[in-house]
Amino acid sequence: MQMISVKGLVKDFGSFRALNGLDMQVKAGEIYGFIGQNGAGKTTTMNILAGLSRPAQGECNVNGRDVTKLTHPGDLNIGYLPEDPKFYPWMTAQETLVYLSGVRKTGHIGDILRWTGLMEAQDRRVGGFSRGMKQRLGIGAALIRNPQLLILDEPSSALDPEGRSEVLHLIKELKNMGKTIVVSTHILDDVERVCDTVGMINAGKMMFEKPLAQLQKESAQPLFDITPVSSVRPEILDEMKMLPGVVSLTKTAKAFTIKAVDKEVSVSVMGFLAEHGIVIESFSLRKARLEDLFLQEVNGK
Ligand SMILES: Nc1ncnc2c1ncn2[C@@H]1O[C@H](COP(=O)(O)OP(=O)(O)OP(=O)(O)O)[C@@H](O)[C@H]1O
Ligand SMILES: [Mg+2]
């Protein structure tokens, strides 16, 4: 079952087009990693999904509802963690959750404190919380209405490795409870640790949406990082792309990376470099990471 189905989303801020025909499909019960560079449009998309902002064009169905036609975002029962959640520093964790739950029954708050690992800290003031504890409290706040879908905007980005591990563990637990989670991040290691599907946005467009397992399989192909002593002419690089066994070539500032079908391709690549008199500072072989796929999409193949 689809939890989110988005087609051709467009969002403008004045004359600037932040989303430019974005498509997105999220299945119920999965953890969907939404990745992209700063300014790519992640928060803009998530605000629209949560019913907090309206697109200029496009279809946007969330949990069976057309969010472009909502009159009140509260009609959508989803949990939303903003990029930078704010709390009253003088309230305790428990008071914060009671306050945010308003007139609703508060019986569920004990569960939330337990799930988020804040039971022992429930009577401490939030002002003294670490960033990781604040993020967990923010996720707790998103859980107050017991939503099926959680939209978490960069829950782990500002945290140290321990805080990140705690938040990632909580996200996995929430999935085990049957929830669907969309989580934006630019920490690709986090995506590799928890996500089922990865969607990559660049300049307001979805570049790809793939199961993590498929991405990892695709990245099983070896990479050669080549740093030439001086820059290589573009037509030579184009010729290298055509060598048998070369899958793609990505250029960075001073170096370029070749993805190949197997390690043996390095022989013909080195032969080609020698033939064209290209002096090399370094040539190294390594395994691909999600980071490479990211750069490949952003910089073109
Ligand atoms: N309210 C706004 N007014 C004008 N421009 C905006 C507004 N909100 C976002 N933008 C612009 O839209 C683009 C997308 O912003 P968005 O915040 O969605 O990116 P993001 O992927 O969440 O980035 P980050 O990783 O930095 O959080 C950016 O260029 C941003 O400057
Ligand atoms: Mg953002």
Domain spans, the chain: 2-215, 219-299
pLDDT digits (tens, 9 = 90+) for 44-77: 999 999 988 999 999 999 988 898 888 776 778 8
- Ligand 1 atom closest to Cα of residue 36: 21
* Residues in the chain, total: 301
pLDDT mean over 104-121:
84
Summarised one tens digit per residue, pLDDT across range 16-43 is 999 999 999 999 999 999 998 889 999 9
**47 CA: nearest ligand 1 atom:** 18
CATH node for 2-215:
3.40.50.300
CB atoms inside a 10 Å sphere around CB 291 = 12
Region for 66 from its dihedrals, namely left if φ exceeds 0, alpha if ψ lies in -120 to 50, beta otherwise = beta
Q: Give residue 103's pLDDT band: very low, low, confident or very high (50, 70, 90).
A: low
Nearest CA to ligand 1 atom 17: 43
Residue nearest to atom 28 of ligand 1 (CA): 39
Token pair, residue 3, equals 């939890």
Q: Say how many Å lie between the CA of residue 199 and the centre of ligand 2.
A: 15
Q: Which residues touch 46 (CB under 8 Å, ≥6 apart)? A: 34, 80, 151, 153, 182, 184
Residue nearest to atom 25 of ligand 1 (CA): 38
* Pocket of ligand 1 contains residue 13 by CB under 6 Å: yes
CB of 44 sitting under 6 A from ligand 1? yes
DSSP assignment of 214-225 equals HHHHHTTSEEEE
In the block, residue with structure tokens 């563990």: 169
pLDDT tens digit string along 194-214?
A: 999 999 999 999 999 999 988
Q: For residue 190, give every residue at least 6 positions away whose Cβ sits within 8 Å of its Cβ, in sequence order, or none.
A: 33, 156, 164, 168
Which residues have CB less than 5 Å away from ligand 2 (the ion)?
42-43
What is the CATH number that goes with domain 219-299?
Answer: 3.30.70.980
176 ligand 1 Cβ < 6 A: no
Nearest atom in ligand 1 to the alpha carbon of residue 16 is 5
Task: Tell me the CA–centroid distance for residue 187 and ligand 2, in Å.
Answer: 13
Q: How far is CA 283 from the centre of its chain?
A: 31
